[in-house]
Structure 1
Amino acid sequence: MNNIHFRILNVFLILGVILSMSSCGSRKNMVYFQPDSSIINTVYQQSVPKIQPDDILTISVTAADPKVTAPFNLTSAMSNSNMTQQTDLALRPTYTVDNDGDIIFPMLGKVHIGGLTRLEAIEVLRKRLSTYINEPGVNMNFNNFRISVLGEVARPGSFIMPTERVSILEALGMAGDMTIRGVRSNVVVIREVNGTKTINRLDLTKQDVLNSPFYYLAQNDVVYIEPNKSQINNSKLGANTNIIISIAGLLITVISVLTR
């Protein structure tokens, strides 16, 4: 009887070891940017996000004489000298890019900036404003540059970025990085350009990912981290845990009764 119990115990111990080994990941699957022969030539200028329809932009005009900029800066009536800088930014006018890539700007009317980078759009406005203002300055920022990070990360969610220059690593950092269960070799970036969505895959275990045109993210990108096989298997096991425990308990009871 004791021998049979001992064998049963060994079976469960072996199963436990097998399950624990299957959940362990190798260094090859876990470490970012493993050394290889890739030549790193990351150029942000080749991946600068372009202005798209439905983008919301905060734009302000500056000049040596602030009075001449008043017609071009639709400042809220609530503005006053006692406001903090953060409150002032929140009250600055925003401009939504329409489906044709245009905005309606005070005094200038319709201005086409769709498909341009932020710096290119600033230059377009500066040239138009130079008719009215001597050496005008233009400040422009995205007001809704949103990135979503989903899947096997510590804090999934959507994040409004303070700048359009954001790498996939920075996005993962904001989401608390991948969990140990995330697949680093098959990170999905979903991007929409001119109404067309594309699915792009990155291998963050290789240095060559730094050369990818998707290393730097664009507005409204969705980053998805898929679970590894161990996590998928664990989820299946978790759904049937109570049944498995009940059956195992019943078998042990039956064996104990029969071997008395």
Structure 2
Amino acid sequence: MNKSILTRKLVIVLCAVSLFLTSCTTKKDVVYFQNAKDFETIVNTDTFTSRFKINDIVSINVSAYDLTAAKPFNLIVESGQNSTPIDYLIDTEGNIDFPVLGKIKLLGLTVEEAKQLFKEKLSNGYLKDPVINIRILNFRISVLGAVTSPGVYPISGERINILEAIANAGDLDLKGRRDNILVIRDFNGAKTYTRIDITNKEVFNSPVYFLTQNDVVYVQPNTSAISGSGGDLRIGQFLGYASFVMTAILLATRF
């Protein structure tokens, strides 16, 4: 066989193999909400609100027309010229130890339910028309795995959905599995594990579509990424060998 023809065939084969090894991602792997139809409306009637968990850190401020009467319910720590309100940690039994009122169980309540509870207790002989402000101070979520910017993200509001969490982390990279995202949640001291598929519009009906404080979102790498951890080295070796072979063939055809 003519040497030049043999060389061309080898080059074509080597290029084809290289393309095969380096191009594995398809549209099906990366597109979100693949089964959503044009002009389709999904009515989300979910009234999700975060509920207090064990180890939550909570700020509670009590106000009333008579500020002097409300002062015993707003403890502060003096540090030089600065004063800092005391925050409350929900203990393993779900309680906080609140001044004057004593132990109050917050575990499982929403912020609004907790406000109503305090209002009822304080209106019972302590304050007239009290105003209660409550915030969860340690509301944060962690996003790990095949995303652009993995990390821990503090949340300023009272809820966040999984799509917003992924957006905060810079979106999934091309090698992240969209159909098998794991949400790890702490529920009364026990861990729950739920998987979610964001290529399907049913994501909006998932029990973990809205995240709770301290949830962990793990994006699993796809098969090509896992095999690629060792495959990248093999591809590099292959291309190195291919380059050597092609160079040897080209040199041989010159003589």
Normalised by the length of structure 2, the TM-score is: 0.87
Give the CA deviation at 1:78.
5.0
Q: 1:178 aligns with which of 172, 179, 192?
A: 172
CA separation of 1:102/1:49 partners in 2, compared to 1, >3 Å: closer, same or farther?
same
Task: Report what 1:106 is aligned to.
Answer: 99
Task: Report what 1:68 is aligned to.
Answer: 69
Task: Report what 1:50 is aligned to.
Answer: 51
Overall identity of the aligned pairs, in %: 34
CA separation of 1:65/1:33 partners in 2, compared to 1, >3 Å: closer, same or farther?
farther
CA separation of 1:39/1:188 partners in 2, compared to 1, >3 Å: closer, same or farther?
farther
Give the CA deviation at 1:22.
2.1
**CA–CA distance in 2 between the matches of 1:53 and 1:149?**
21
CA separation of 1:33/1:63 partners in 2, compared to 1, >3 Å: closer, same or farther?
farther
Q: Deviations over 1:111-149 (max 9, x none)?
A: 111121121112111111112000111111111012000
Task: Report what 1:155 is aligned to.
Answer: 149
Task: Report what 1:3 is aligned to.
Answer: 5
* Structure 1 segments unaligned to the other structure (5+ residues): none
Task: Report what 1:13 is aligned to.
Answer: 15
RMSD: 2.6
Q: 2:208 aligns with which of 199, 204, 214?
A: 214
Give the CA deviation at 1:250.
4.5
State whether residues 41 and 211 of structure 1, in contact with CA within 8 Å, keep that contact through their aligned partners in structure 2: no
CA separation of 1:144/1:209 partners in 2, compared to 1, >3 Å: closer, same or farther?
same
Task: Report what 1:130 is aligned to.
Answer: 123
Letter in 1 for 2:187: V
* Structure 2 segments unaligned to the other structure (5+ residues): none
Corresponding residue SS for 2:117 = helix
1:168 to 2:162 alignment: yes
Letter in 2 for 1:202: I
Q: 2:196 aligns with which of 191, 202, 205?
A: 202
**CA–CA distance in 1 between the matches of 2:188 and 2:4?**
72
Q: Deviations over 1:8-43 (max 9, x none)?
A: 1111221233235423x2157413364159983434
Task: Report what 1:146 is aligned to.
Answer: 140
Letter in 1 for 2:94: G
CA separation of 1:29/1:243 partners in 2, compared to 1, >3 Å: closer, same or farther?
closer
Letter in 1 for 2:19: V
Letter in 2 for 1:111: I
Corresponding residue SS for 2:214 = coil
Normalised by the length of structure 1, the TM-score is: 0.85
Corresponding residue SS for 1:240 = helix
Give the CA deviation at 1:257.
7.0
State whether residues 41 and 210 of structure 1, in contact with CA within 8 Å, keep that contact through their aligned partners in structure 2: no
Letter in 1 for 2:101: L
Task: Report what 2:24 is aligned to.
Answer: 22
Task: Report what 1:32 is aligned to.
Answer: 33
**CA–CA distance in 2 between the matches of 1:33 and 1:130?**
53
CA separation of 1:228/1:249 partners in 2, compared to 1, >3 Å: closer, same or farther?
same
Letter in 2 for 1:197: K
Give the CA deviation at 1:244.
2.8
